[in-house]
């Protein structure tokens, strides 16, 4: 079911060129494309994000799943990824946060701006991973990734 929901989100993003990407009053939704950790093929998913200075923050709640989402596992292995917000594609370097920095960003940035996300952490019974996406420059090829799991 999650794969079908992601496929629909990707279709809407592409068909309407990001104009219908929601996110609510705080943050937004971006399309993240990473190489699959086993296949190397591009994999795209729609994820919530928050601005953090000149970087973006993304987190892997998996809607409260006890396991980390596949897209975040791919992100952990990727030296570089592409994000698309609206029609703007940017190459990014992911930095998966750890230790005190992870705890601080989760508490003082993510939960401070989106307190309802706490329910997913509680439901999952695990520490929710957070990554900071550092911009590297415009994407030269906005590869259309597959919504399949990798």
Closest CA to 83 of 49, 127, 119: 49
Give the CA-trace dihedral at 15, 10, 117, 78, to 10 degrees: -130
Q: Model pTM? A: 0.80
**Do residues 77 and 111 lie in contact, with contact meaning Cβ atoms separated by under 8 Å?**
no
**CATH code reported for the domain at 2-17+26-138:** 2.30.110.10
CB burial of residue 36 (10 Å; 0-12, 13-18, 19+): buried
Full pLDDT tens readout for the chain, 150 residues: 455 545 555 545 454 445 444 555 567 999 999 999 999 999 999 999 999 999 999 999 999 999 999 999 999 999 999 999 988 999 999 999 999 999 999 999 999 999 999 999 999 999 999 999 999 988 765 444 444 445
């Amino acid at each position: 079911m999650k794969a079908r929901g992601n496929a629909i989100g990707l279709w809407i993003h592409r068909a309407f060129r990001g104009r219908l990407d929601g996110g609510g009053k705080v943050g937004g939704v971006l399309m993240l494309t990473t190489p699959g950790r086993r296949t190397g093929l591009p994999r795209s998913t729609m994820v919530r994000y928050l601005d953090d200075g000149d970087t973006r923050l993304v987190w892997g709640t998996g809607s409260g799943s006890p396991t980390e989402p596949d897209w975040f596992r791919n992100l952990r292995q990727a030296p570089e990824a592409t994000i698309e917000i609206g029609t703007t594609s940017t190459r990014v370097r992911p930095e998966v946060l750890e230790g005190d920095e992870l705890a601080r960003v989760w508490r003082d940035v993510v939960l401070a701006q989106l307190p309802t996300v706490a329910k997913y952490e509680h439901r999952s019974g695990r520490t929710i991973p957070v990554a900071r996406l550092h911009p590297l420059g415009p994407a030269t090829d906005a590869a259309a990734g597959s919504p399949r799991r990798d």
